[in-house]
């Protein structure tokens, strides 16, 4: 299975995403923001970073990149698309996902290992997890506060489209910080579209795909350092099932 990873000017985590795809058993395909061509990939990842320097708003310029016209069309046609951090912001700006990402409530950049609860494991990206499973993956952002009108929040909750939610760790809180790290409404860390093929989340699963190089979660029943690998392994499983 071939999974494209888009690089914009200012992207930071494209190589990490490509590596995660390879470790999961897939073929990562680099895609350039200036090319209106997806090169026949089966899915697309929009990785983290500060695309176009996050001028205007995070992800606001990226939505107009030539590659995004193809990504939007493919997503509307059912292709799995994952937006991580800045990629989540781009998906919101491109109207593939509702709501918006604004500055963290405390107005500071945050970087920490973050516990998440899997709220929806029926998407191609989350099928490797169990419902209500708590995983821990790195979080690093400054524009990570998810906001939306109340009717949109109600719709997301009613339709089961909240995919990940910020929760407490085993010690009662993540590393001594507040449970909700950036003030996101309803503690939302990730959502999906109505079809379930497009998922956006703020934390970084591509940084938790190798034992010894990802967050540890002693006593909470998860695999050490591998909690993010399920995102990519689940996708490949879903694609294989469709082949």
2-242, what's its fold?
A: Rossmann fold (3.40.50)
Mean pLDDT, the chain, as a whole number? 91
Q: By C-alpha distance, which of 221, 203, 223 is closest to 213? A: 223
pLDDT of residue 77: 97
pLDDT for 217 equals 54
Other beta carbons less than 10 A from residue 163's beta carbon: 25
- Adjacency order of strands within the sheet including 81-84: 27-32, 2-7, 43-46, 81-84, 198-201, 188-192, 162-166, 110-118, 134-141
Q: What is the pLDDT of residues 155-188, one digit of tens each?
A: 999 999 999 999 975 444 444 456 888 999 999 9
Distance CA 41, CA 43 (A): 6
pLDDT tens, residue by residue, 95-124: 999 999 999 988 888 888 899 999 999 999
Q: Residues 85, 92, 192, 207: which is the catalytic one?
A: 85
Catalytic residue among 93, 119, 204, 207: 204
Cα separation of 232 and 222, whole Å?
17
pLDDT tens-digit series, residues 189-230: 999 999 999 999 999 999 999 887 777 655 555 556 789 999
Q: Is 206 a catalytic residue?
A: yes
Q: Which of 33, 93, 192, 206 is catalytic?
A: 206
| pTM for this entry | 0.92
Whose structure tokens read 């395909």? 29
The domain limits of the chain are: 2-242
């Amino acid at each position: 299975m071939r999974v494209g990873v888009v690089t914009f000017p200012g992207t930071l985590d494209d190589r990490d995403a490509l590596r995660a795809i390879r470790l999961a058993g897939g073929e990562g395909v680099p895609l350039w923001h200036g090319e209106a061509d997806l090169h026949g990939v089966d899915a697309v990842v929009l990785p983290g970073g500060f695309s176009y320097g996050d001028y205007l708003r995070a992800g606001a310029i990226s939505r107009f990149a030539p590659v995004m016209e193809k990504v939007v069309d493919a997503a509307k046609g059912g292709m799995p698309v994952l937006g991580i951090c800045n990629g989540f912001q781009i998906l919101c700006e491109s109207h593939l996902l509702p709501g918006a990402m604004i500055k963290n409530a405390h107005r500071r950049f945050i970087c920490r290992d973050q516990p998440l609860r899997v709220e929806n494991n029926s998407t191609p990206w989350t099928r490797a997890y169990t419902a209500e499973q708590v995983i821990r993956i790195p979080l690093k952002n400054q524009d990570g506060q998810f906001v939306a009108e109340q009717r949109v929040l109600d719709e997301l909750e009613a339709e089961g489209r909240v995919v990940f939610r910020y929760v407490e760790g085993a010690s009662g809180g993540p590393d001594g910080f507040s449970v909700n790290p950036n003030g996101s409404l309803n503690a939302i860390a990730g959502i999906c579209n109505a079809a379930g093929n497009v998922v956006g989340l703020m934390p970084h699963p591509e940084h938790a795909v190798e034992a010894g190089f990802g967050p540890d979660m002693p006593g909470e029943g998860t695999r050490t350092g591998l909690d993010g690998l399920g995102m990519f392994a689940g996708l490949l499983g879903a694609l294989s099932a469709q082949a």
